[in-house]
Each structure stands twice: as C-alpha cells, then as structure tokens.
C-alpha cells in the first residue's frame, strides 16, 4: 500500500476521502459516494495491494477517478435501484426469483424484439434475463459471441447501446433484471488492444501473454489442460504479425488477457461501470477461473482470481451496488465454493455461481436410475456461504462434461472412469436401450473424455419418442424433463431456464450447414426460438403445451414456498430407496422435504422417513394432501413430491 493510503475512519467528518467532496454539487450525493468509499475502499486497496503490491502507487488514485466518473454518470433511475437493492440485499436469493437464458437474435431477432416478448417471459414468472453474448464480437467464428471485439458496442444486427439501455429499462419496469456476459479472460484478436499488440505497441503487448519463443509456452503446457482439444488443441497460438506466441486458452482467435497488468484491471472497471450505467444488473463472469496464470499449475482457480474478483466487486459496490456477480467457474466443488467467498473473502466475492455438479448429477441419475452417486456428491459438497446463491439449471448453451470425481464414484460403489464412459455412451445414444439423442463434443483421446451436446428434450428421450410416434415414450420423456426441472426449482437458488426448454425443444441439426457453426456441435442445442411451437403452449394436448403447463405448475408452487429462500441449503438424506432422491430444506420459515423418483417404475418410499418431520403432509406441487398413515407411499414413474406440513403455506 502506498504511504499516503487513506485509512478507514468511523467519522465521516474526519474521513480522508472528504477532500473528494468538492467533486460533488450535491451533499447527499457526496455522502453516498464517500460512505461507500469508506465501506469498500479498504477492500479494494487490500485486494489490489495483495495482487499488484507497490508496483503502481498511482493505481488507487486512478481507480478512484474512474469510480467518481462512473458514479457521476450513473442515471438517477439506477441510483434509486442501488438504494432499493441495499434495502433488499437478498434479492437474488428469494424463492420467487427465476432466470431465463436466451440468445437475442434467436429469441426475438433484435433487442427491440426482446421487448415485444416480455409478456411471454412474464407468463413464466421470469425475474432475471440473461441475454447471451451481444457485445460486438469478431466477424465469422466467434465462439457464440465470447470473442468480443468491442465491449462498448452492441452487435449491430441486434441494435445499439441505446437499444440495450432502453431494453434494460423496460425489463426493469416489468420486474426483470438484465444479466450480460462479461468475458474477462480473453478478447477477440480483432479487439483494439490485440490489434495494437500485433502492431508491436509495447503497452498493449503487456495486456496479453506474449512470448518470443516456445520455451515458456512449453513450460506452461506441461501442466495445462486443453479446453477445446478437438478444434483448438494447445493453449498458445503463433501470431504472424508480432512473431510471438500468444496465450489462447480457448480458440486461437481468443487472446487471453494478462491480469497481472493493473492496466487490464482498470480497463475492466471502466467497462463494467459503463455497462452497469446502461442498466446491466448482473454480470456473468465468463471463464473467471482462468484469468490468472501460474507455472506448474493448471492456471485455474489461482488465489489472485479471487482477489481480483473481490477488487472488481468492491469497485462496483461503490459505483453501482445494485449490480450482482455470477461466477461461471466450471470447476471441482472444492474449488467452486471459493468463488462464493470463503475465509477472508467471505461475503466479498460473487453473489452467485453455477451449480455444475447438480446439473451433471441430474443427467447421471437419469441414465443410471440410481441416486447414490448423486447423494454422495452432494454430501461431499462444501457448504455455501449463506449470503450467496446457486444458479441451478437443467441445460445451458454449453456441452455437458461429466464432472464426476473418482473419489465420489468410488464412495458410491462405482468407478469414475467407468461411469463417465457409461454416461458418454448413454447420452450419445450408443448405449443399448438408451433413450437419449446427443452428440459427442470434444473427444479427447488423451483423457478419454467425451463431452455431450444436445437439448434437454432430446437427451431426455423426446426426439426418439417423437420419431417413433411412440406416445408412451413421449409421456416418459416429458416426465423426465419435469422431474429434472422439479429438482432445480426445488433446490434453492436461481433456476436458469434455457430458452426453448419450456417448450421441450428438440435438437436442431441445421448448424451443420452453417460454416460459422459447423465445427462446433454445441449449436445443436442453440436453435432459434420456434414461436409456432410456443403458440401451442396453452394447448393441453400438445407436447409443448404439456411441458409448459408442467413447468408453470412447478414455478407457481415454488413462489409460495419460503423454505426455498437460498439462505439455507438443501440437505441430502440417504434415501431408503436408491431410485429416489431425498432432499430436505430446513428453513426457519418452514421445512420442505422433496422426493424425486429417477426411474420409469413406480417406487415405494417408507413413511417412517417422513413422519419425524410432519404430522400431516401436503404436496406443494399438486396441492394434494399426502397420507403418512400407511407404512409407505408410492411414487409414480419419475414422480416428484415437495412435501410441507399440511395447512401451512
């Protein structure tokens, strides 16, 4: 820390930040900013000090200027939102919160078009809309927009920055918060920083990891995994223009940023305040695990990642405390939990993180009709900080990697490699008797990994059932989908519905004919919204109608279940029946026990497992009383029950 570092003072009047008061016309505005600076400034200094040390004494002052500017530019409406959020810090944890994830063009053509479908989102009870990457990407292949060429411009065919803020405003008026991707790990090679680095500008070369020879890249490669072993093997790309090797974890056109350079940090603070001031309420921190590199490690989850997130969050709390962070860290549970803030970082990192394990276990149990591995994985999962929440999901835009640890598998009496192989076989449809239609994504001959692409409905058997015109198989596929959604909606966290899943949308193989997508089969589950299909959503006899109604029933029930507030966690109980997942939520507001049958057969469940918790039970999904008088109850094929004390909401 530089010697002139302001120290925290309990007395605003004596605050060393007071000298900043002259930057404000309005005393109340000044108070707000100075109080926040006093509250979060130390966090900012401490985390930046830990990352950058004494190297840049002017960093903090430059940062302060950027924050002041960001605060001055923040529209009044958003400043009001900041105050509202400070009064409701658990806004993302509430049982009423539901997310929807969509591609702007594929959902509605343009940003303006999205505004025309707010009614649809409201029918589902959406309170959070993640619009997939929409900032200016590079042309041609761009990893679904995750290769950003300009963070301050919108993809022109979708609209303009003005359209984005107009939409954010309109969404907010309808109780919907806008979530955008913030790609922190890399930029497109067409981004101005990369172009200037290519042209030889030292300042910008220092924004990236660029090497003269292969010596350092080779040294790093020894311990680095490959994210896209198939279409982008290795982690470095030779750049002809600068004659240097550039770190490119993902595709060759995505240049990893060098966060060890404080200029990169400053750039992103400015980008984030810019976007927050246009109405973005949640930043999805894309590939956050990768932003810090360290020799002899896999260069993921390094301590600096958390320090930097903490600094970014503290900066945003000063300018725009309404904004929340969602960590996209698809990493092992023990590493994942750190993204929600543990130990010294408790309460200071992301507000939310994807629960990748839950998603993987859903599909795993669906294939095996056995929940014992699911139970083990959840029992071994480290506890979540009470102020944070999970993003829970059945499917998303990415492939499914079988993130099942050998240790969990062994404890559950299975083999890690064997089970992962089974799941790849099952979901690619190769396994005898499989109901799934999926595609293998990124076969890695070195590790044997075969990830899977495919829409939820196709993976759950609907595609095969429909092709065969088999009504019974169609019924089962729909029940499977509703089962998976019941688990996520009943888990506690923000359920993230992936566009089209509410209509049981099938795989779309037309990506194969599009040169920008053909090599990446994740596009099979990223089809355009089929509004004709959506038009059938209230037809109770149609497949989309049955899916939509089933989902709405669950969503409707969830809203009235205070035990689903995310401040407490779901507990897993060892189930007396290996096909039935048994979860409990003990919240001061009430207890909820959930039973989920992962098999296509009826299952018996002993009432004695439930009677210690309830005198009279009611299933909150159907609203029906559930008798615990008999020695057992029977669960329908893929049946699900959310049990609460009867007579209680």
- Residue ranges binding ligand GLC (CB under 6 A): 143-144, 146, 183, 250, 286-287, 328, 398
157 among known catalytic residues: no
Nearer to ligand GLC by C-beta: 437 or 442?
442
Task: Report in angstroms how near the CB of residue 225 gets to ligand GLC at its nearest.
Answer: 13
Nearest distance from C-beta of residue 325 to ligand GLC, angstroms? 15
Tell me how far, at minimum, the Cβ of 400 lies from ligand GLC, in Å: 12
**Cα 392 from Cα 593, distance rounded (Å):** 18
CA distances from 430 to 404, 426, 434 (A): 20, 6, 7
In the complex, least distance from residue 526 CB atom to ligand GLC, rounded to whole angstroms? 10
Q: Which is nearer to ligand GLC, 330 or 465 (CB)?
A: 330
Residue-by-residue DSSP string for 629-644? -SSEEEEPTT-EEEEE
Largest Cα–Cα separation, the chain: 78
Residue in 470, 464, 474, 396 with CA at minimum distance from that of residue 433: 464
Contact criterion met (CB below 8 Å) for 159 and 112: yes
Cβ at position 286, least distance to ligand GLC in Å: 5
Q: In sequence order, what are the residues at sequence separation of 6 or more whose Cβ sits closer than 8 angstroms to the Cβ of residue 449?
A: 401, 402, 420, 424, 442, 443
Which residue in 206, 195, 209, 199 sits closest to 237, CA to CA? 209
3-state helix, strand, coil split of the chain in percent (to 5) is: 40, 20, 40
Please tell me which residue in 105, 328, 502, 600 is annotated as part of the active site: 328
Report the residue number, 397 or 480, with the smaller CB distance to ligand GLC. 397
Q: Which residue in 286, 479, 520, 536 is the catalytic one?
A: 286
Q: Which of 496, 395, 402 shows the shortest CA–CA distance to 441?
A: 402
Q: Which two tokens stand for residue 43?
A: 């966090």
Which of 403, 643 has the CB closer to ligand GLC? Answer: 403
Q: How far is the CB of 287 from ligand GLC (least distance, A)?
A: 4
DSSP secondary structure of 415-472: -HHHHHHHHHHHHTT-STT-----EEEEEETTTTEEEEE--HHHHTTHHHHHHHT-HH
Question: Is 479 marked active-site?
Answer: no
Angstrom distance (rounded) from CA 236 to CA 227:
12
Which lies closer to ligand GLC via its Cβ, residue 339 or residue 642?
339
How far is the C-alpha of 425 from the C-alpha of 428, rounded, in Å?
A: 5
581/575 Cα distance (integer angstroms): 6
Taking CB positions, which residue lies at the least distance from ligand GLC? 146
Minimum distance of ligand GLC from residue 529's CB (angstroms): 19
| Shorter beta-carbon distance to ligand GLC: residue 270 or 286 | 286
Choice between 496 and 594, CB closer to ligand GLC: 496
Residues carrying an active site annotation:
286, 328
């Amino acid at each position: 820390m530089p010697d002139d570092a302001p120290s925290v003072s309990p007395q605003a009047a004596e605050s060393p930040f007071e000298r900043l008061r002259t930057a404000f016309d309005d005393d109340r505005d000044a108070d707000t900013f100075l109080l926040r600076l006093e509250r979060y400034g130390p966090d900012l200094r401490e985390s930046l000090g830990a990352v950058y040390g004494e190297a840049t004494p002017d960093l903090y002052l430059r940062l302060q200027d950027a924050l002041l500017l960001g605060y001055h530019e923040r529209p009044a409406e958003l400043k009001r939102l900041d105050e509202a959020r400070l009064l409701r810090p658990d806004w993302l944890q509430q049982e009423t919160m539901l997310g929807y994830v969509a591609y702007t063009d594929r959902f509605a053509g343009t940003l303006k078009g999205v505004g025309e479908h707010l009614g649809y989102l409201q029918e589902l009870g959406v309170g959070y809309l993640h619009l997939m990457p929409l900032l200016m990407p590079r042309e041609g292949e761009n990893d679904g927009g995750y290769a950003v060429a300009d963070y301050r411009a919108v993809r022109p065919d979708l609209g303009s920055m003005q359209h984005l803020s107009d939409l954010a405003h309109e969404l907010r008026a309808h109780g919907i918060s806008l979530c955008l991707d913030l790609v922190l790990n890399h930029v497109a090679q067409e981004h101005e920083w990369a172009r200037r680095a290519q042209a030889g500008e030292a300042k910008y070369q220092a924004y990236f990891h660029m090497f003269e020879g292969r010596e350092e890249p080779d040294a790093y490669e020894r311990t680095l995994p490959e994210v896209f072993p198939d279409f982008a093997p290795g982690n470095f790309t030779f750049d002809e223009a600068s004659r240097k090797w550039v770190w490119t974890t993902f595709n060759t056109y995505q240049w990893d940023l060098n966060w060890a350079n404080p200029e990169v940090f400053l750039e992103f603070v400015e980008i984030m305040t810019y976007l927050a001031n246009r109405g973005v309420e949640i930043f999805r921190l894309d590939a956050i695990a990768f932003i810090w590199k360290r020799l002899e490690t896999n260069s993921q989850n390094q301590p600096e990642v958390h320090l930097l997130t903490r600094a970014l969050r503290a900066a945003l709390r000063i300018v725009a405390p309404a904004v929340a962070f969602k960590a996209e860290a698809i990493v092992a549970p023990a590493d994942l939990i750190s993204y929600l803030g543990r130990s010294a970082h408790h309460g200071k990192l992301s507000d939310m993180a994807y629960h990748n394990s839950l998603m993987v276990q859903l599909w795993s149990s669906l294939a095996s009709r056995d929940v014992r591995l699911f139970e083990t994985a959840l029992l071994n999962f480290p506890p979540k900080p009470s102020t944070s929440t999970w993003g829970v999901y059945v499917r998303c835009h990415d492939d499914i990697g079988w993130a099942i640890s050998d240790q969990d598998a062994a404890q559950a009496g299975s083999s890690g490699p064997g089970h992962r192989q089974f799941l790849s076989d099952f979901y690619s449809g190769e396994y005898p008797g499989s109901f799934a239609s999926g595609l293998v994504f990124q076969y890695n001959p070195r590790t044997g990994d075969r990830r899977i692409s495919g829409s939820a409905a196709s993976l759950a058997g609907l595609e095969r059932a429909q092709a065969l015109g088999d009504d019974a198989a169609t019924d089962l596929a729909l029940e499977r989908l509703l089962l998976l959604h019941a688990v996520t909606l009943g888990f506690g966290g923000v359920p993230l519905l992936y566009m089209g899943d509410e209509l049981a949308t099938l795989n779309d193989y037309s990506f194969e004919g599009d040169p920008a997508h053909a090599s990446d089969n994740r596009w099979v589950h990223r089809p355009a919204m089929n509004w004709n299909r959506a038009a059938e959503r209230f037809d109770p006899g149609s497949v989309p109608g049955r899916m939509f109604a089933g989902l709405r029933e669950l969503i409707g029930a969830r809203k009235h279940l205070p035990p689903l507030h995310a401040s407490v966690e779901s507990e897993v109980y060892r189930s007396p029946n290996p096909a039935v997942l048994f979860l409990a939520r003990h919240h001061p507001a009430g207890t909820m026990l959930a039973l989920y049958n992962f098999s296509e057969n009826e299952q018996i469940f002993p009432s004695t497992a439930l009677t210690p918790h309830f005198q009279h039970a009611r299933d909150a999904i159907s609203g029906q009383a559930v008798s615990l008088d008999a020695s057992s109850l029977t669960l329908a094929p893929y049946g699900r029950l959310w049990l609460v004390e009867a007579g209680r909401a």
